[in-house]
Amino acid sequence: MKVLFVCLGNICRSPLAEAIFKHKVKSIDLDGSIYADSCGTAGYHIGELADPRTRANAQKNGVTITHRGRQLQSSDLEEFDYILAMDQSNLSNIKRLSNSELYSEKIYLMRSFDPHPGEEVPDPYYGDEKDFQQVFEILDRSIDHFLKEIRAKLL
């Protein structure tokens, strides 16, 4: 199974989501059967490590991010089984790229798996440490619930 996390720049939210997800997948010994990656709808940060504030916050929470930025490409829609968008704008950009209804059933908002109310994972880029920590917590619990759902399908 292949899972892709998508945000705008691929330096804050989606590389963090990818790293949290991989960390959890490994802890339940499913890293042999689940592949994960992340990308941005924009191409501003191709090849870059995640934002230093995101990496520092992740490290503080026990998660290491090694991802390098890349841009979403149309072949991703074919290749991945789940495509998880951080916000509505990412979601509509992904759907625009797909240019058909063919892939719509595999494209979700990340927070559709969040048990707490809220639609979007807020962009922390212009925020402070409190905003980065809030993003971590939203992703941590949304990914727990997402993982529960896909795990049931793998068994």
Residues in contact with ligand 4NP by the rule CB under 6 A: 7-13, 44, 123, 125
Q: What is the DSSP letter of 85?
A: E
Number of residue whose CB is nearest ligand 4NP: 9
User: Does residue 13 carry a catalytic annotation?
Assistant: yes
81 is a catalytic site residue: no
Exposure of 57 in the CB half-sphere (CA atoms within 13 A): 27
> d(Cα 54, Cα 153) in Å, to the nearest integer?
31
- In whole angstroms, how far apart are CA 24 and each of 20, 37, 128, 139, 149? 6, 14, 26, 12, 14
Give the nearer residue to ligand 4NP in terms of CB position, either 78 or 88. 88
> Is position 7 annotated as part of the catalytic site?
yes
**Closer by beta carbon to ligand 4NP, 15 or else 147:** 15
CB of 90 to ligand 4NP, least distance (A): 8
In the complex, least distance from residue 155 CB atom to ligand 4NP, rounded to whole angstroms? 32
Q: At its nearest, how many Å lie between ligand 4NP and the CB of residue 123?
A: 5
Q: Which is nearer to ligand 4NP, 12 or 147 (CB)?
A: 12
Q: With contact defined as beta carbons under 8 Å apart, do 13 and 7 qualify?
A: yes
> What strand order describes the sheet that includes 2-7?
35-40, 2-7, 82-85, 107-109
Show which residues are catalytic: 7, 13, 123
